[in-house]
Amino acid sequence: MSTPTGKGRETQTTEEHESALETARKQLHHAAAHLELNPNIVERLRHPMSVHEVTLPVEMDDGTVEVFTGYRAQHDGVRGPFKGGLRFHPEVTRDECVGLGMWMTWKCAVMDIPFGGAKGGIAVNPKRLTRGEKERVTRRFTQEMRNVIGPMQDIPAPDMGTNPQTMAWIMDAYSMQEDETIMGVVTGKPPSIGGSMGREESPGRSVAIITRAACDHYDRLLSDTTVAVQGFGSVGANAARLLDEWGATVVAISDVNGAMYDPEGIDTHAVPSHDEEPEAVTDYADRTIPNHEVLELDVDVLVPAAVGNVITEANADDVSADLVVEGANGPVTTTGDAILEERGIPVVPDILANAGGVTVSYYEWLQDINRRSWSLDRVNEELESDMLDAWSAVREQFQRRDVSWRDAAYIVALGRVAEAHEVRGLWP
């Protein structure tokens, strides 16, 4: 079984292992330099508002008890309840949750949705748990965090290693203790218990919408665009399939075992996503290449949609794409980003590109608290319109200030968060 805490990560500072918190703080510092912000507010935003750490004793199927560690980092709540995913991964640490929570603050602000940022996690390898063990870990985590989550306080959602079933268990465990069914405590639930239509596809859909907008910005027709997607989970598979449907040529897709490569274009619908059949991409391939080579393919658009820290100081010089659109959270390290910028390869950041997930989470929360459900068409229409509004706001800063796409997105987000802090003030 995995070690309960991944403490080693907190002390690793080499570039390849830059923690999400280090990356997030450097990005904040970089973007703040473009704005005349009150330095006290920037200092406040470098820190989470609170971090909750719990230990979770769980009875395993063989009768032994294992103790896991869980976290919920609430970064900033000035614009509304905390919002962000919950991940089950052996390398989850406190710092990782803080950094990812910070990104959620910017993601919600760049989309202009009334939520703050949070992220949680349990240091556990979900692949090694049975369904029953996973359920018990999830319910115990919910119980231990019961006082800090809630529909008006902090609303978890799926992230790496968790899915709609995990959210259903959280909703149930929370509701049983509160003596009423409280659907709005989590988003990303199955539609039968208040989940939104289109929520599962939404991060991938937003990556596709933003990729299309970025191609348009650079006067590139999708029908003349080749795309490589790293990761074929919920984000990567949905992004690849939509771009494929909209006329782009997807030449490579990958999972942990390797990549499928076809310069003529892959039928992305013919390959099962991770959720449909885990880690099966290479089983369907005539031609495979190693996973890292996906990042180096000479394509028009590269979408890293697997895990964080994949484009680093070590390989940023080998990236041959003309444009990178971040599907995962934090796939490019600070040095990787600087190298790509120097080489003139634009990077459209995660906080914009994959923000469709939290945006449809917001629609789900609205549906839950209003006891109404929206059609899939309505969800997709609103998502398209909200993504394009955010794209326009970011593009305006990109053009006006001549900064990177990441800085432009941060400027939009940070401006909104800082203004809210300014008018609310410090209490007491």
The residues near 163 (Cβ < 8 Å, ≥ 6 apart) are 188, 275
The secondary structure element, H or E, covering residue 5 is none
Asked if residues 114 and 80 have their Cβ atoms less than 8 Å apart, the reply is yes
- Residue 67's SS3 state is strand
As beta bridge partners, residue 72 has: 52, 120
Q: How far is CA 208 from CA 224, 310, 413, in A?
A: 15, 20, 21
| Cα 134 to Cα 149: distance, rounded to the nearest angstrom | 20
Question: Shortest distance, CB of residue 338 to ligand GLU, whole angstroms?
Answer: 24
- Which of 282, 329 has the CB closer to ligand GLU? 329
Question: Shortest distance, CB of residue 259 to ligand GLU, whole angstroms?
Answer: 24
- One DSSP character per residue, 266-332 reads --GGGS--TTTSTT-GGGG-SSEE-HHHHTT---SEEEE-S-SS-B-TTTGGG---SEEE--SSS-B
Question: What b/e sequence results for 357-396 when a residue is b if at least 16 CB atoms lie within 10 Å of its CB, and e otherwise?
Answer: bbbbbbbbbebbeeeebbeeeebbebbeebbeebbebbbe
Question: Shortest distance, CB of residue 71 to ligand GLU, whole angstroms?
Answer: 15
Q: Which residue is nearest to ligand GLU (CB)?
A: 85
Burial of 321 (0-12, 13-18, 19+ CB in 10 A): buried
Q: In what order do the strands lie in the sheet with 82-89?
A: 50-59, 65-76, 116-123, 82-89, 154-158
Question: Shortest distance, CB of residue 147 to ligand GLU, whole angstroms?
Answer: 20
- Which of 75, 107 has the CB closer to ligand GLU? 107
- Which of 173, 358 has the CB closer to ligand GLU? 358
- Which of 160, 339 has the CB closer to ligand GLU? 160
Question: Shortest distance, CB of residue 122 to ligand GLU, whole angstroms?
Answer: 14
| Cα 123 to Cα 126: distance, rounded to the nearest angstrom | 9
Which residue type does 103 have? W
| Cα 220 to Cα 222: distance, rounded to the nearest angstrom | 6
Question: Shortest distance, CB of residue 351 to ligand GLU, whole angstroms?
Answer: 9
- Contacts with ligand GLU by CB under 6 A lie at 83-85, 107, 157, 159, 187, 329, 354, 357-358, 361
| Cα 305 to Cα 329: distance, rounded to the nearest angstrom | 8
Helices (H), 218-285: 234-245
**Alpha-carbon torsion 78, 83, 85, 90, what sign?**
positive
CA angle 321, 327, 329 (to 5 degrees): 120
Question: Shortest distance, CB of residue 417 to ligand GLU, whole angstroms?
Answer: 16
Q: Between 405-424 and 20-32, two packed helices, what is the crossing angle to 10 degrees?
A: 80
83 is catalytic: no
**Residue 428 preceded by cis peptide, ω within 30:** yes
Q: Which of 152, 155, 126, 148 is nearest to 138 (CA)?
A: 126
Question: Shortest distance, CB of residue 144 to ligand GLU, whole angstroms?
Answer: 20
User: Out of 83, 119, 134, 189, which one is annotated catalytic?
Assistant: 119
- Which of 71, 261 has the CB closer to ligand GLU? 71
- Which of 25, 83 has the CB closer to ligand GLU? 83
- Which of 159, 201 has the CB closer to ligand GLU? 159
- Which of 160, 271 has the CB closer to ligand GLU? 160
* Residues annotated as catalytic (active site), given as ranges: 119
